[in-house]
Amino acid sequence: MEIRKPILDKNKLTDTILATSPLIDLDEVSITNGSLDDEKVEEIKVNSSILNNLSFQSLKVDKLQISDSFLTTGNLAGAISYQTYFERSLITKTRLQGAQFMECIMRDIAIEHSKCSDVSFRYAKIKNVIFLDCDLENADFLGAHLEKVVFKNCNLRNSQFSQAKLEHVSFKESDIEGISISKDSFVNITVNTGQAIYLASRLGLNIED
């Protein structure tokens, strides 16, 4: 599956620092190191930027928008965003444990090598997204709409997909033990043979040779 890449000209980026403000607008900047831990912010807007080693742990933000950007070795553990929009961006080696992005919109996003256990994407709209080598144990996708989403080499143990609408979603290279998923979604997902047997047994189907 192909996703659209960030639209970013590294030659135009300005080095800057992360400063606390009710409204944070980061446009065509490069930032290395900085913290908004435990802060309360009205809006953060990131566009065509590179953010490296920033910490937003337990941040509360009314509106978070990230587009055409790269986030590397960041920390969003425990962060709460009430309106979240991610588009054409790469998030890698980032902590998202326990973050709450309920009803967020995600399009053309790659999340790689990241710790995402207990993250909440409840009622989110997620399209053209790749999760690669991510720990998503106990992740919550309840009621979400996932379209063209690939989970590759991910830990999805005990993750929640109840009431979710799944279209062209692939789990076939991930650990789905304990996953909660509606049988109505089975026609729109891709799994391997072992996963198919496991899901069938979860529905109470007895399989004998």
Q: Which CATH number fits domain 10-202: 2.40.110.10, 3.30.530.20, 2.60.40.10, 2.160.20.80?
A: 2.160.20.80
Instruction: State pLDDT tens for residues 101-159.
Output: 999 999 999 999 999 999 999 999 999 999 999 999 999 999 999 999 999 999 999 99
3-state SS, residue 192: coil
Task: Report phi then psi at 2, rounded to 5.
Answer: -100, 140
3-state SS, residue 4: coil
Q: What per-residue confidence (pLDDT) applies to 184? A: 79
Task: Report phi then psi at 159, rounded to 5.
Answer: -75, 160
pTM: 0.94
Residue-range domain boundaries for the chain: 10-202
The answer to whether 19 touches 38, Cβ cutoff 8 Å, is: no
Beta strands in 36-69 (DSSP E): 40-47, 50-55, 60-67
Q: What is the DSSP string of 90-146?
A: EEES-B-TT-B-TT-EEEEEEEES-B-TT-B-TT-EEEEEEEES-B-TT-B-TT-EE
Dihedral of alpha carbons 32, 58, 7, 26, sign? negative
The answer to whether 43 touches 60, Cβ cutoff 8 Å, is: no
Instruction: State pLDDT tens for residues 50-100.
Output: 999 999 999 999 999 999 999 999 999 999 999 999 999 999 999 999 999
Dihedral of alpha carbons 28, 30, 34, 38, sign? positive
